[in-house]
Structure 1
Amino acid sequence: MMLFDKMKIKSQTTLEDETGKTLPAKLVFSLAINFLKNDLLDECHKQLADVLEEDDILWVLTVPAIWNDAAKQFMRETAEDAGIKRSKLMIALEPEAASLYCRYLPVQKGDADCSLASFKPGTKYIVLDAGGGTIDITVHQVIVDGNVRELHKASGGAWGGTMVDKAYEQFLVSVAGSAVVQKFKEDHMDDFIDLFRTFEVTKREISPEKSAKVTFRLPPSFTDTFLEITGGSIAKKISSTEFRDRISYLSGKLRVDANITLDFFQKSVDSIVRHISSLLQDSSVQPCEAILMVGGFSESKVLHNAIKDEFGRMMKIIISESPGLAVLKGAVIFGHRPSTISERICKYTYGVNTTHETTKWCIHPSTETSESDGRKRCRNVFDKHVTIGQSVKLEEEQEESISNPVSDTQTGIWKMIYASTSPNPYLVTEPGCIKIGEFEIPIPDTTLGRDRKFGTRFIFGGTEIAVKVEDKAIGEIHIYSIDFLE
């Protein structure tokens, strides 16, 4: 979640654990990826008798579609730190991967007569990827060749299963007190983690259709911590709270009214339903035929029932087989067939910061002009390459933009990449514009001076942005990577 919803991410960002200790985020992520990589290699060597080399493998790293370019670069660099070569690494967007997986399945749970594999060209559907941290929502349409295109930019929020976990933790605080929960967390971290592992299983069984009390097991160390802090018993404390008629405690077990447990889900579920309702108001989404639910949180009966109650009358609700594995299995398909997602929607208006010579038609304020080599220039001009909401095809090159040095001795042209929520920004200094990255076009030979021209074309249709630069003087073409990290 450290990478969620931050336009600017520092390469040296640190993470803090439950006890307040910090480590570099890249170290934590790369160690996790390295463990998974080595585990797979060990398993392959056992089964394939060492015929598989590491260079034989294309690794697919999945990220939420609502993550920005800096977050994707951060994950790519951590994977490289884990020993995966750049040329052997592909980034996949999680709801897209899940959608691909379900396109290959003949049967899904949910509506018996509904399957993504049977959807005809033109069919529109929503992919609801409900994970632990984020809820990732995309809108797809089946096209003539069986491929899929994105119809609406990825959206969502931090409303995943961990929001339910936090509600449960707040419930424990209201029962035992914040001092007890904090002390328990500090002194018995293993039991604290195990407590939420157990809750993970229990919360999948919580359902609006069940009225029986729900049982939560508390480890002995929790009871001991309560006694140490308060000097009393949990049962006595409960009798003095607002829950006294709806909760009981006996032999390490909390017995809780079903209505209380449903409240754990309220904030998360309401946010998801409200967001989908808002999304359905967009004309590009209509008519929508189905909602495909994937991700571990989709196994929650509370979430499934809420989606079905709200939208089941107007469209089909499909839950994939093993929704928690849909992204993983879809990522494998994406690695073999990355062109299956043939069109995507731009989340921002992208452009570069440029300058041009001042003319009588310029509408620049005087504060945005400067003089160089006796020439007056307009600066901070937003040179737009693609517009927010625009559909871009895979490997499609945008219109070429010509650049040249502003001085005869210049040895490189720095391009500052900007993103804007406005469809037509004029200056990069306008509200809603933010610098997100940069790249350099090197000029090793300055013989031509200001007359040397470079053609820049952005390629936005993939999961990552690419830049194609042609040196017009010698005809050389290079693909440059953009640095999105601070």
Structure 2
Amino acid sequence: MTVFSLSIRFLKDELLKTSGDQIGGNGLEPEDIHWVLTVPAIWNDAAKQFMREAAQEAGILQNMLTIALEPEAASLYCRHLPVEKGDNSRTCLSKFGAGKKYLVLDAGGGTVDITVHEVGPSGDLKELHKASGGAWGGTKVDEAFMNFLGQLAGLDVIERFKDVNMEDYIDLLRDFEIKKRDIAPSKDSKVTIKLPIALSELVREMKGTELKSKIQQSGLGEKAKLTGDKLRLEASVVKTFFQTSISSCVKHVSDLLDEPVNHGVQAILMVGGFSESPMLQEMFKIKFPKLTIITPPEAGLAVLKGAVIFGHSPKSISERVSKYTYGTDITVPFDESKHPWSKRKEYKNGEVRCNDIFSKLVELGQTMIVGQPQDAQNFTPIFDDQKSMSMNIYAAQSKDPKFVTDYGCQQIGSFSVPMTGTGTDRSVTVRMTFAGTEIDVECKQKDTSNVTHLKVDFLS
């Protein structure tokens, strides 16, 4: 929390300082700005809440913050400008009329986020398939490179190098970052990477030999050579660093395109810093020759620029698809003909009920309209003097769980519904909206018409 909040505070303060230099006078105040914080679409609700709390700790007001999903932001941005196709002709997502479908591949440093969008009648975007992806971003290539160095110098040497020489380690990764952006399937030229002197010294200290000798003994022959402080690698070696990441992306996209709901996809929009890699771009052109592969200029900034558009027009995304079956746990009168005895509980008022029933709020794969509550259910207290009802939210990976204890079902959050008056005949209507980037809960007590908006706690 400290690391994330300090990072956000730095960006916030830097923006305010820059605005002061440009505008003159006192510049802008934090409350003058509506802030948008982007997160991967595959992140869960707890991770989104964590980012919101980090932003609040950084001095951003809760009501002045919107959480945006990265592939959606990038998609909005690319709907607003012409972008280059690989064959130097021009195409533009804004020319995609109603009913046209395209897949958004947001390949960043850590994660690869994939969503499928369809253009609506008024130019808004509908999500056709729940967001999916994995940890296949550019840092996977970095990890493969460092593991390769570990095989040459010794994994224990690399670990010590990271611990003792952090600045040199970061410089090494920066140098590799520049080189990996030039690596392409069609290029066979050797790649030269400058190794810090501290790494060679550590090999001498810990292994009692020179790094050059270690590399010569590695069995790589001409594929890896050390000349001075320069490590020269054959292109074929460097290309293997991309293998896990790219093959995971290609397979996942291929599986998605095979699903019936995604039939008719015409283009793949590649955004995010890792999408600027020629290795990733060319492999997608090879594997999906019938689709238009679109990479906008400065693909790494597409999410950032799209977040600004989303902040001004959050309803540009009109429909989303639920990643889980969401529900709450309720009790019902016990029926021994259909309820397991292990769920039976006798309460102090003498009533016998069945516990842990999964009360479905929204179903896995369900299309949800943004701004409209996906579910409204009535709940009544068990006891006359109850002042609140604690409710838990569960997420399940199946469409029709029976109990909250079923396999693949877990509690992800909780909230407390306030109640006034007495008696068990009091009723509260709970309306939940899952279609936004965060879950919203509206509670209305029928006899008083009191309305309360609650935030679900996903972190406790």
Q: Provide TM-score, normalisation by structure 2.
A: 0.97
CA contact (8 A) 1:459 1:466 kept: yes
Q: Tell me the SS of whatever aligns to 1:170.
A: helix
Q: Which moved more, 1:76-85 or 1:108-117?
A: 108-117
**Which residue is 1:224 aligned to?**
201
1:283 positional shift: 0.5
Q: Which runs of 5+ in 2 are unaligned?
A: none
CA contact (8 A) 1:109 1:321 kept: no
Change (3 A) 1:221 1:364: same
Kindly provide the CA deviation profile for residues 365-397 of structure 1, in whole angstroms up to 9, marking residues without a partner as x: 122122221222222111111100000011111
Q: Tell me the SS of whatever aligns to 2:126.
A: strand
**Structure 1 position 434 matched with structure 2 position 432:** no
**Structure 1 position 478 matched with structure 2 position 455:** no
Q: Distance in 2 between matches of 1:398 and 1:185?
A: 49
**Which residue is 1:273 aligned to?**
250
Q: Which moved more, 1:276-285 or 1:174-183?
A: 174-183
**Structure 1 position 301 matched with structure 2 position 278:** yes
**Which residue is 2:338 aligned to?**
363
CA contact (8 A) 2:21 2:27 kept: no
How many residues of Structure 1 are paired with residues of Structure 2 in the alignment?
457
Q: Tell me the SS of whatever aligns to 2:354.
A: strand
**Structure 1 position 419 matched with structure 2 position 391:** no
**Structure 1 position 236 matched with structure 2 position 209:** no
Q: How does 1:85-96 map to 2 (within 5 A)?
A: 85-96=61-72
Q: Distance in 2 between matches of 1:365 and 1:227?
A: 67
Q: Distance in 1 between matches of 2:183 and 2:114?
A: 24
Q: Tell me the SS of whatever aligns to 1:60.
A: strand
Q: Which moved more, 1:202-211 or 1:392-401?
A: 392-401
Q: Tell me the SS of whatever aligns to 1:62.
A: strand
**Structure 1 position 399 matched with structure 2 position 379:** no
Structural RMSD (CA): 1.3
What letter is aligned with 1:391? T
Q: Which moved more, 1:134-143 or 1:393-402?
A: 393-402
Kindly provide the CA deviation profile for residues 177-228 of structure 1, in whole angstroms up to 9, marking residues without a partner as x: 2232223222211000110011111100111111111111112222222222
Kindly provide the CA deviation profile for residues 326-363 of structure 1, in whole angstroms up to 9, marking residues without a partner as x: 00000011000100001000000011111122358x62
Q: Distance in 1 between matches of 2:153 and 2:341?
A: 64
1:450 positional shift: 0.3
What letter is aligned with 1:399? D
Q: Which moved more, 1:153-162 or 1:41-50?
A: 41-50
**Which residue is 1:27 aligned to?**
2
**Structure 1 position 43 matched with structure 2 position 35:** no
**Structure 1 position 465 matched with structure 2 position 439:** yes
**Which residue is 1:11 aligned to?**
none
Q: Tell me the SS of whatever aligns to 1:122.
A: coil
Question: Which runs of at least 4 in structure 1 moved beyond 3 Å after TM superposition?
Answer: none
**Which residue is 2:320 aligned to?**
344
Identify which of 167, 188, 204 aligns with 1:211. 188
Q: How does 1:31-180 map to 2 (within 5 A)?
A: 31-49=6-24, 50-111=26-87, 112-180=89-157
CA contact (8 A) 1:130 1:160 kept: yes
Q: Tell me the SS of whatever aligns to 2:188.
A: coil
CA contact (8 A) 2:375 2:433 kept: no
Kindly provide the CA deviation profile for residues 148-185 of structure 1, in whole angstroms up to 9, marking residues without a partner as x: 01000000001111110010001111111223222322
Q: How does 1:248-397 map to 2 (within 5 A)?
A: 248-311=225-288, 313-358=289-334, 363-372=338-347, 373-397=349-373
1:113 positional shift: 4.2
Q: Provide TM-score, normalisation by structure 1.
A: 0.92
1:233 positional shift: 2.4
Q: Which runs of 5+ in 1 are unaligned?
A: 1-25
Q: Tell me the SS of whatever aligns to 1:441.
A: strand
Q: How does 1:6-25 map to 2 (within 5 A)?
A: none
Q: Tell me the SS of whatever aligns to 2:60.
A: coil
**Which residue is 1:456 aligned to?**
430
Kindly provide the CA deviation profile for residues 291-327 of structure 1, in whole angstroms up to 9, marking residues without a partner as x: 000000001111111111001x221000011011000
What letter is aligned with 1:37? K
CA contact (8 A) 1:344 1:393 kept: yes
CA contact (8 A) 2:83 2:294 kept: no
